[in-house]
Amino acid sequence: MSLPARNPKHNPLFILKTCKALNGRPAYIAGPMVRYLKLPFRELVRHYNTDIVYTPMILAREFVRNETARISDFTTNERDRSVIVQVGCNNVEDLLKFVEMIHPYVDGIGLNCGCPIREQVREGIGAALMSEPELVASMVKAVKDKYGDRVCLETKIRIHSNLDETVRFVKMVEAAGVDFITVHGRTKTTRLSVPANFDAIKLVKESVVPTVPDPKKHNLTIAPTVATHLVLLATAPIKISMSLPARNPKHNPLFILKTCKALNGRPAYIAGPMVRYLKLPFRELVRHYNTDIVYTPMILAREFVRNETARISDFTTNERDRSVIVQVGCNNVEDLLKFVEMIHPYVDGIGLNCGCPIREQVREGIGAALMSEPELVASMVKAVKDKYGDRVCLETKIRIHSNLDETVRFVKMVEAAGVDFITVHGRTKTTRLSVPANFDAIKLVKESVGVPVVANGDCFLFDDATKIADFTGVDGVMAVRGILSNPALFAGFDKTPWAAVERFWHLATSYGLPFRITQHHLSEMMDKLIPRKYLKEMNELTNLVDLIDWFDFHFMLKREGQPGFATLVDVTWREHRGDAAHI
């Protein structure tokens, strides 16, 4: 989990100085682009003589508060040198927290004062900072006062229409201690079709510390082309469509909950939301094994509605992703309505998370924090249902209170506000998972409201779903930890069949799934299939290629199209496994 110590020769300031002094040339730099400078592309451009490479911009506020953002926004390895992480931030507190978290893993940190994207400017970051030189100087000074030469700090700016303002700006950040400055030779409103103003960049160079011209015109031409090729090389060909078929009423979660019970005499089988681990490939896998409704991981409405990068990284779907409920973390009507407007055409339902007990979410006033705000939750539910009516199936997922009268009051309020169904996790927000779920409390909720109710908690076997439904009378049963370790749970398997492992590999590599998420899914699925020795080996691997090689070395892992693909129940070991293969 650790990387080698940073080499001073990878410090961007050292590179800038030595390229000019020793090589008689400028440093060659790949600048930050929204989405298109992830780790594979950074490694590619280094192969072709690039000295320094930036990451895409990371929003400090989300990064320091949200583990999901940290995992999705930044990955690195020992070859990722020299790398500068670009940060969007507008206050000292968040910037210092961000630097504290990330500086051991990068060679430099770049404060973005130049991004002209409207939603960033509205948030007071990017090019909005060009009118706040005192604020930028205070952020630079805070970082340099705390870290000194241990952190190489850059600011990336645009020019002002009045170049005297630009000179004043850069002199202030120079005085605050910035190590170098990148200048984009356009104002925040100048179109890319207008040539960059290199006279302005020359003026900055003559005014302050060593600067780097920003070759953004070329970056924007090259990067999308190469990034697209990388995606096609890394995944199986997939026909991409910007539109999806119209939603089918039979995929509406409310229809499924009612018909499963009325027509099939069983509860609806539901795969509940998990942080990071219910991305598109795994959703498709569990549907193959008799799951009726599948949730996405929780998406933060505030970031989703304001940030295109968040929308791209947080949510993907396709025409087979039915029935799907997107779970949202939100604590105000405005953001929720914007979120619903953006996403409702692509999903079958929307679930408002009132149950997540993760500390950082509760501090932000979302998740389980909402259990003490029934009026607020009811107002959010009412706002959505008033605007969309039956066009949006809306659920709330809650935990119970220590005083169950409060829980009954809560669910009655959201029912009156128009919620379509309620999911109840039978624990309080402070109850440990080692304590059995309180099914009496879930039964009480079911008896207190007229809308369908889903039970969540302690469903690890197919028989558990039947027992929970019989005891509580609920309309659906949700598995979370149980289905993570056994995606075939609702098909009656007591442990993951080998066919599910092969099918998961096909889906993960076809759609593209981050390595650590792929590794974690396989670790969970293989937990009851192979000895601890092998699990430890697998979990110590550090990249997808080695993981595939490891599986091929130990097992007969069939690919789609090969005879017998995804048909076997038991693990298919290769003959060289030895006695250690027996559990």
Is 548 a residue whose pLDDT tops 50? yes
**Parallel/antiparallel/unpaired status of strands 153-158 and 180-184:** parallel
Over residues 255-260, mean pLDDT: 95
Fold equal for 8-233 and 254-491: yes
Is 577 a residue whose pLDDT tops 80? no
pLDDT score, position 24: 82
Buried b (16+ CB within 10 A) or exposed e, 46-58: beeeebbbbbbbb
Which CATH class for the 254-491 domain? alpha beta
Place of tokens 């190469």: 226
In this structure, what is the dihedral angle of CA atoms 557, 558, 560, 562, given to the nearest 10 degrees?
Answer: 170
Question: What single DSSP character describes residue 573?
Answer: B
Flag the least confident range among 129-133, 162-166, 219-223.
219-223
pLDDT score, position 217: 32
Is 325 a residue whose pLDDT tops 70? yes
Max Cα-Cα span within the chain: 79
Extents of the domains making up the chain: 8-233, 254-491, 498-581
Report the alpha-carbon distance of residue 86 to residue 12 in Å, rounded: 13
pLDDT score, position 230: 27
pLDDT digits (tens, 9 = 90+) for 271-313: 999 878 899 999 999 999 999 999 999 999 999 998 887 888 8
Is 322 a residue whose pLDDT tops 60? yes
pLDDT score, position 221: 28
pLDDT score, position 8: 82
Q: Are 398 and 410 in contact (CB under 8 A)?
A: yes
pLDDT score, position 206: 86
Is 239 a residue whose pLDDT tops 50? no
Is 210 a residue whose pLDDT tops 80? no
Q: Is 191 helix (H, G, I), strand (E, B) or coil?
A: coil
Q: What is the CATH number of domain 8-233?
A: 3.20.20.70
The residues with which 156 forms a beta bridge, in sequence order, are 112, 182
pLDDT digits (tens, 9 = 90+) for 346-403: 999 999 999 999 988 999 999 999 999 999 999 999 999 999 999 999 999 999 999 9
Over residues 508-523, mean pLDDT: 92
82 upstream amide cis, omega within 30 of 0: yes
E-strand ranges in 309-458 read 324-329, 349-354, 394-399, 421-425, 453-456
Flag the least confident range among 120-124, 140-144, 254-258.
120-124
Nearest to 357 by CA among 325, 301, 394, 397: 397
Let me know the angle formed at the C-alpha of 42 by 38 and 44, rounded to the nearest 5 degrees. 125
pLDDT score, position 30: 94
pLDDT digits (tens, 9 = 90+) for 226-236: 222 222 222 22
pLDDT digits (tens, 9 = 90+) for 516-534: 999 999 999 999 999 999 9
Residue 362, CB-side half-sphere exposure with 13 Å CA sphere: 11
Flag the least confident range among 21-30, 68-77, 526-535.
68-77
Q: How confident is the model at residue 314 (pLDDT cuts 50, 70, 90)?
A: confident
Nearest to 223 by CA among 511, 30, 81, 512: 30
Residues 6+ apart with CB under 8 A from 118: none
Is 240 a residue whose pLDDT tops 80? no
Nearest to 451 by CA among 483, 418, 484: 418
pLDDT digits (tens, 9 = 90+) for 85-122: 999 999 999 999 999 999 999 999 999 999 998 888 99
Is 185 a residue whose pLDDT tops 90? yes
Nearest to 383 by CA among 420, 343, 417, 346: 417
Indicate whether this model's pTM tops 0.85.
no
pLDDT mean across residues, the chain: 89
The token pair that represents 296 in the structure block: 């996405």
Active-site residue list: 356
pLDDT score, position 78: 86
Sign of the C-alpha dihedral computed for residues 179, 185, 187 and 190 taken in this order: negative
Report the alpha-carbon distance of residue 401 to residue 405 in Å, rounded: 8
pLDDT score, position 4: 58
Report the alpha-carbon distance of residue 57 to residue 309 in Å, rounded: 9
Q: Are 50 and 28 in contact (CB under 8 A)?
A: yes
pLDDT score, position 307: 83
Q: How confident is the model at residue 18 (pLDDT cuts 50, 70, 90)?
A: confident
